[in-house]
Amino acid sequence: MHLILLGAPGAGKGTQGSLLAERLGVPKIATGDILRLAVRAGTDLGLKARSYMDAGELVPDDVILGLVREALRADAARTGAIFDGFPRTVGQARALQEILADEGRALNAVLALEVPADAIVERMSGRRTDPATGEVYHLRHNPPPPAVADRVIQRPDDSVETVRHRLAVYDAMTAPLVEF
Ligand code: ADP
């Protein structure tokens, strides 16, 4: 099963992707999560990606394609993957077609999650993450339990201004993928 989740930042790709990965028994490949781990670990990848991420810009395609190839080589991904946050440009989508074709794999479906911009800004301004578990909460809709409430953090790129910029990048670079 190879499935792409397409949708603006905050549309729910991460949440639905985790549920689907569990249901379908294939790993979720979330490029944003992989990048955030690399930033936290201070690896070369993290150093390269950080300034783009903090500014709400896309990380260059060659960097992203390298990490997707590697993630697909993992044993757990032999029978498929749920792609969350990838592909994000037509160039990445074309490259994914080639990567899958080279290995005799095929894409089963693309799910486009459509959410109005106002709802997205509201979701993301209240979004908090538990750095210990990666669990994602929302201050109003899914408040963190008391035991973790003190340690949840806001993603640096979830400030209102950066969210607006990420939405503009989505419209310009990623929305054309629906047509593609
Ligand atoms: P969201 O979907 O909420 O924007 P992600 O965790 O998918 O969040 O991505 C966070 C940031 O990581 C993006 O703003 C971008 O800088 C970078 N990123 C993640 N995936 C990609 C990708 N496929 N191509 C380019 N940049 C990416």
Query: Catalytic residue at 88?
Result: yes
More confident residue, 161 or 81: 81
pLDDT for the residue 32: 95
Element (DSSP H or E) covering residue 125: helix 117-125
127 lines ligand 1 (CB under 6 A): no
Ligand 1 binding pocket includes 53 (Cβ within 6 Å): yes
Kindly report which listed range (75-79, 97-101, 133-137) carries the lowest average pLDDT score. Answer: 133-137
**What CATH number does the domain located at 2-179 have?**
3.40.50.300
What number is the average pLDDT over the span 139-166?
92
Please report the atom of ligand 1 found closest to the CA of residue 13: 2
- Give the whole-angstrom CA distance, residue 70 versus residue 165: 29
> 């629906």: which residue's tokens?
178
Dihedrals phi, psi of 57, to nearest 5 degrees: -95, 165
Backbone angles phi, psi at 92, to 5 degrees: -65, -40
**Mean pLDDT on 59-82:** 95
For the question of whether the overall pTM of this predicted structure is more than 0.85, the answer is: yes
Where exactly are the structural domains of the chain? 2-179
Q: Catalytic: 28?
A: no
Give the DSSP H/E element, type plus range, for residue 82: strand 81-84
Angle ∠(41,45,48) on CA atoms, nearest 5? 110
Q: How many residues does the chain have?
A: 180
Give the pLDDT confidence of 5-50 residue by residue, as tens digits. Answer: 999 999 999 999 999 999 999 999 999 999 999 999 999 999 999 9
Residue type for position 117: A
Q: Are 138 and 156 in contact (CB under 8 A)?
A: no
